[in-house]
Amino acid sequence: MAFFRAFASQLAISQHVLQKTPCAIAIISRSSSSATDLKSLLAEKIQEQQVYVKSFREQYGSKVIGEITVDQVYGGMRGIRGLVTETSYLHPEDGIKFRDFTIPQIKKLLPKSPGGNEPLPEGLFWLLLTGEVPSAEEVRSVSKMWAEKAEIPPHVVTMLNNFPAHLHPMSQFTAAIMACNTESKFAKAYADGVSKNMYWEYTFDDVMNLIAKLPPIAATIYKNLYRNGSPISAVDLEKDWSSNFTSMLGYDNPDFTELMRLYISIHSDHEGGNVSAHTVHLVASALSDPYISFAAGINGLAGPLHGLGSQEVLEWLTELHNDLSSDATEAQLKDFVWQTLKSGQVVPGFGHDVLRRTDPRYTALREFALKHLPDDPMFNLANNLYRIVPQSILALGKIKNPWPTVDGLSGVLLRYYGMKEIHYYTVLIGVSRALGTMASLVWDRALGLPIERPKSMTTDGLMKLVGAV
Ligand code: MLT
């Protein structure tokens, strides 16, 4: 468990022995796991981490870790360290690290489907949840569990089939997820007065049930909106999660399924401060059940400054393509980018609040595209922009982070395989984001994280605080 080891070495403590070290940190033995299933393994990890965090807080709980400026308070709390998220960390240069593993590492280490090259999202979920790289057999057990739990409650099917066609797919998605909370074991256990140290177990059960239902919910929305309501295919207990999902969507190209495995893996988690993850954490901190907490996060994902970005990039690229065609010269492209920037708009798909290099999620998709669709005109256009846009933005002299994000390419790939319904793209990110946010939620309950309640200020109050009045 890389995050655990790194942390332990920072504190100069052995992770193999139950001891009180000179700095009074207690660590229980990390005996080799005898767990055969995900929940039992998780129970072991939770027990260890609870002791670990308790000991850390006992010794370092009052240590100051930063200062906050007035601009940060007005500026969306950028850079303020105020959350604990165990599943991933966003490094400004290296990009997202899932339990300390970079995207190239997860692509190499996580189990693949037979003959496939892309990581199976089930394996990534296992990693996010436990900090351990699972075996192929462990991944298969998750695929099977999710396939077995895939059935959507009948009232949710009725609801989905009665939504008007002009209701945005993200609104349909979030409404259906909320309506699944009739199934919440956590809500029932809480109402029955279950002990706090059992919360994570019911949360875990809900999380597994919820994730399993997302592909059929998402596919039903797709079929209703774009395929005349034709029924989704039945789940196959032998197939992996992404393979079942693409079949339900009505796609049979194995390369599209491979893309989906990669797409879902890389979009799954982006540490705790992004809008969807933070929203899930905040809402769930009130002990709202996993279904309604996740739906809240999906509402945040539906915003144009967050998950709707992938839709906006393809709209912009299509406009560019229509105006200039795909073999536009570098000078023409530069001019188009300048016109966009000069009119006060941003170039969609470029620039990130935290990242200071090209998003490795973008790089992973670019590698996929170079292998599978090197001659696609839209990909070539995006690839040319990759060379041109950062320099143009830097030339403005105001923005330090002009590098492409994952949104800059994701829609191009989906479109290539025939998924041209751009309003649907964010739903796919929503399916994926469940993996990270739900794994985090299990840990929130396991660590007993309390209801979130930061202090807000009025402008007058802030002025008094800094001596301005
Ligand atoms: C994400 O994937 O959540 C986005 O890149 C936004 C963010 O990290 O704030």
The per-residue pLDDT for range 122-154, each reduced to its tens digit, is 999 999 999 999 999 999 999 999 999 999 999
- How high does pLDDT run on average in the chain? 92
* 302 CA distance to ligand 1 middle (Å): 12
**Is 427 inside any structural domain?**
yes
Q: Which of 310, 316, 287, 320 is nearest to 427 (CA)?
A: 310
Domain with 58, as residue range(s), is: 1-30+38-65
Q: Give pLDDT, residue 325.
A: 78
Q: Is 238's C-beta closer than 6 angstroms to any atom of ligand 1?
A: no
In this structure, is residue 133 part of a structural domain?
no
Atom of ligand 1 nearest to the CA of 267: 2
Residue 229: inside a domain, yes or no? Answer: yes
Ligand 1: distance of its center to the CA of 119 in Å? 21
Q: What is the average pLDDT across 165-169? A: 98
Domain count, the chain: 2
pLDDT of residue 29: 34
pLDDT score of 395: 87
Reply yes or no on whether the pLDDT at 8 is more than 50.
Answer: no
Q: With a 6 A CB cut-off, is 353 part of the ligand 1 pocket?
A: yes
Question: CA 216 to CA 84: how far, in whole Å?
Answer: 32
**Same domain as 316, residue 189:** yes
> Which of the listed residues 352, 403, 426, 435 should we mutate to test ligand 1's pocket, taking the one with most ligand atoms within 8 A of CB?
352
Q: Is 274 in the pocket of ligand 1 (CB under 6 A)?
A: yes
* Same-domain status, 285 and 180: yes
**51 and 157 in one domain?**
no
| More reliable by pLDDT, 344 or 431 | 431
Asked, for residue 43, whether it belongs to a domain, the answer is: yes
Amino acid, single-letter form, for residue 342: K
pLDDT attached to residue 33: 44
Band the pLDDT of 303: cuts 50, 70, 90. Answer: very high
Statement to judge: residues 170 and 56 lie in one domain: no
Residue 215 in any domain: the answer is: yes
Cβ-count burial of 268 within 10 angstroms (0-12 exposed, 13-18 middle, 19+ buried)?
Answer: buried
Of the residues 14, 49, 65, which one is the last residue of a structural domain?
Answer: 65
Indicate which residues carry an active-site annotation.
306, 352, 407
User: Do 59 and 155 have their domain in common?
Assistant: no
Please report whether residue 399 resides in a domain: yes
Could you tell me the distance, in angstroms and rounded to a whole number, from the CA of residue 407 to the centre of ligand 1? 10
- Tell me which residue of 208, 262, 149 sits closest to 441, measured CA to CA: 208
Q: Tell whether 119 is covered by a domain.
A: no
Judgement on whether residues 158 and 295 belong to the same structural domain of the protein? yes
Verify that 196 and 296 share a domain, yes or no. Answer: yes
**pLDDT tens figures, 237-291:** 999 999 999 999 999 999 999 999 999 999 999 999 999 999 999 999 999 999 9
The minimum-distance atom of ligand 1 relative to the CA of 276 is 3
Q: 396-446, pLDDT tens digit by residue?
A: 887 778 999 999 999 999 999 999 999 999 999 999 999 999 999 999 999
Looking at the domain assignment, is residue 94 inside a domain?
no
CATH number, domain of 273, equals: 1.10.580.10
Of the residues 87, 306, 410, which should be mutated to test ligand 1's pocket, given the most ligand atoms within 8 Å of the CB? 306
Which is the closest atom of ligand 1 to the Cα of 352?
5
Query: Using a 6 Å cutoff on CB, does residue 270 contact ligand 1?
Result: yes
C-alpha 305 to ligand 1 mean position (Å): 9
- Rounded average pLDDT over 365-389: 95
> Measured at the alpha carbon of residue 105, what is the angle toward residues 104 and 111, in degrees to the nearest 5?
110
**Same domain? 51 vs 159:** no
Residue 6 pLDDT > 60 = no
